[in-house]
């Protein structure tokens, strides 16, 4: 998967969402066909159950249909925006089912903060103050380009380790190492920034 193809795919998805915002059902069906597999994989990492992920996907695509007009291609890629919606729906469904689901790795809490910020239609964004949003962006910027790129591709774009390796032409072992270290640094940065705020309470 080349960077040119990725850019074309992102632009095409953004165009499809533009048509979905005008209630174009054909564009909506095509959006589903192009993204549902990756979005299902994102959800399954959270729910650990296909049944719950199917529910999250169904509810998530309803939200995508209803809120496509809020998508801004200047702020995030289409897959980023949709992925965050599906992820938050998955979390909601897990909570609703009152079951404890283990994170797919020990650093997933830090990624949740990133996705909250990048979900432009997520009501939780409204609850984040400017300092909190700045912390996420600052911490992403501080962890280094390689770490940041693979984190965004894996957790927000939904790419597999193999796809990331092909895209940026690095061994898959390197991708896994960068993800592990990047999330570790990111979470440490966010926790360090949160501590002074808690101390003031």
CATH classification at residue 177: 1.10.10.10
pLDDT at 2 over 50: no
The CA-atom distances, in angstroms, between 137 and each of 18, 53, 83, 132, 142 are: 27, 29, 18, 9, 9
More confident residue, 139 or 131: 139
> Are 189 and 138 in the same domain?
yes
13: domain CATH number? 1.10.1740.10
Domain limits for position 178: 127-201
- Per the rule left: phi > 0, alpha: psi between -120 and 50, beta: everything else, 48 is left
> Are 52 and 149 in the same domain?
no
Q: Does an H or E element contain 65, and which?
A: helix 50-67
> Are 74 and 135 in the same domain?
no
> Are 141 and 69 in the same domain?
no
Average pLDDT over residues 126-152: 69
Average pLDDT over residues 147-152: 82
pLDDT at 69 over 70: yes
> Are 94 and 187 in the same domain?
no
> Are 143 and 74 in the same domain?
no
> Are 83 and 10 in the same domain?
yes
More confident residue, 40 or 98: 40
Burial tier of 46 (Cβ tally within 10 Å: 0-12, 13-18, 19+): buried
Domain boundary (102, 137, 168) is at: 102
pLDDT at 27 over 90: yes
Task: Name which of 10-14, 104-108, 137-141, 172-176 the model is least confident about.
Answer: 104-108
Report the predicted TM-score, pTM, of the whole model to 2 decimal places. Answer: 0.53
Q: Does an H or E element contain 180, and which?
A: helix 172-199
């Amino acid at each position: 998967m080349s960077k040119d193809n990725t850019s074309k795919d992102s632009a095409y998805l953004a165009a499809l969402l533009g048509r979905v915002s005008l209630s174009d059902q054909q564009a909506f069906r095509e959006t589903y066909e192009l993204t549902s597999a990756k979005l299902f994989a994102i959800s399954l990492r959270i729910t650990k159950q296909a049944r719950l992920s199917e529910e999250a996907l169904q509810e998530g695509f309803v939200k995508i249909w209803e809120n496509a007009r809020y998508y801004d291609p200047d702020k995030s890629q289409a897959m980023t925006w949709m992925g965050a919606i599906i992820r938050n729906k998955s979390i909601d469904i897990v909570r609703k089912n009152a079951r404890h689901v283990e994170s797919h790795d020990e650093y997933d809490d830090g990624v949740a903060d990133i996705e909250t910020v990048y979900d432009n239609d997520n009501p939780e964004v409204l609850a984040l103050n400017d300092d909190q949003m700045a912390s996420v962006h600052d911490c992403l910027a501080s962890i280094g380009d390689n770490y940041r790129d693979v984190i965004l591709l894996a957790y927000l774009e939904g790419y597999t380790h193999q796809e990331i390796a092909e895209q940026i032409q690095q061994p898959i072992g390197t991708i896994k190492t960068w993800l592990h270290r990047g999330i570790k640094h990111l979470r440490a940065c966010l926790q360090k920034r949160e501590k002074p705020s808690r101390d003031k309470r």
